[in-house]
């Protein structure tokens, strides 16, 4: 074997071992939080893992972690176990370990300022009071990661207590929301390759078609 062939094999092995993208779901660990509105990010990651045949999640990077392939890309899936307000600790450890740039980090999270079932993409910008994003900004030192904002509505717009945000996001999705939630999660995992290919607008269009 020539030196060039040897080095090529080493490089290929190295690329196969390290994920190109890190997909992060925000939420709180524990069975009691599993169906909370605040955990829609975790739900999205679980659906992606199931759809693409990722191996079982293992405890790593202060969270639950799995690696697999989505299309042509090696991808890491992460659900921080540090609770929402400290999500950045887990994500920071994973990104430093794999040297993943912010441009290859995609974060799925609940969004109060979008109506239920609406999904929008945002790159960079402020955290808008979302404590999970606030923690990510602090630990990553770079806000230019991609956010998949998954609308859950705001209690003030849904006839609830406008000051009851905490109890609202930490409550389970009611039965009436299950159908649109199922559609959002399906639309997300079905079209995830578009996000990896940086086709953000097409991703939003495809998800909207499924959830309308």
Q: What pLDDT digit, counting tens, does each position of 79-98 carry?
A: 999 999 999 999 999 999 99
Cβ atoms of 43 and 185 within 8 Å: the answer is: yes
**Poorest-pLDDT segment among 116-125, 152-161, 183-192:** 152-161
User: Rounded to whole angstroms, how far apart are CA atoms 186 and 50?
Assistant: 11
Reported as a single tens digit per residue, the pLDDT across 9-27 is 444 444 455 799 999 999 9
Model pLDDT for residues 167-180, shown as the tens digit of each residue: 999 999 999 999 99
What is the tens place of the pLDDT at every residue in 50-63? 999 999 999 999 99
Residues assigned a catalytic role: 38
Q: Is the pLDDT confidence value at 143 over 70?
A: yes
Model confidence at 158: pLDDT above 50: yes
| Domains of the chain from N-terminus onward | 18-211 (3.40.50.1470)
Mean pLDDT (the chain, rounded): 91
Q: Helix (H, G, I), strand (E, B), or coil: what is residue 121? A: strand
Provide the whole-model pTM: 0.89
Q: Give pLDDT, residue 129.
A: 75
Alpha carbon distance 64, 17 (integer Å): 18
Please return the burial class of 165, using the count of CB atoms within 10 Å of its CB with bins 0-12, 13-18 and 19+: middle
Tell me the β-bridge partners of 12: none
Q: What is the pLDDT of residues 32-78, one digit of tens each?
A: 999 999 999 999 999 999 999 999 999 999 999 999 999 999 999 99
* Cα(211)–Cα(209) distance, integer angstroms: 6
pLDDT, residue 68, reads: 98
């Amino acid at each position: 074997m020539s030196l060039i062939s040897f080095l090529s094999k080493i490089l290929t092995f190295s690329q196969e071992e390290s994920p190109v993208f890190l997909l992060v779901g925000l939420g709180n660990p524990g069975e009691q939080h599993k169906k909370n509105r605040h955990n829609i990010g975790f739900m999205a990651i679980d659906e992606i893992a199931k759809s693409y045949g990722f191996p079982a999640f293992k405890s790593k990077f202060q969270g639950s972690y799995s690696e697999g392939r989505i299309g042509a890309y090696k991808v890491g899936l992460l659900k921080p176990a540090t609770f929402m307000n400290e999500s950045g600790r887990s994500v920071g450890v994973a990104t430093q370990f794999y040297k993943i740039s912010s441009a290859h980090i995609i974060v799925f999270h609940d969004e109060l300022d979008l109506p239920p079932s609406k999904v929008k993409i945002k790159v960079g910008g402020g955290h808008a009071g979302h404590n999970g994003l606030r923690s990510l900004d602090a630990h990553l030192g770079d806000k230019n990661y991609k956010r998949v904002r998954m609308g859950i509505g705001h209690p003030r717009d849904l006839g609830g207590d406008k000051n009851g945000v905490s109890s609202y996001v930490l409550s389970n999705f009611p039965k009436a929301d299950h159908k649109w939630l199922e559609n959002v999660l399906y639309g997300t995992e079905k079209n995830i390759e578009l996000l990896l290919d940086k086709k953000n607008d097409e991703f939003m269009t495809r998800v909207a078609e499924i959830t309308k």
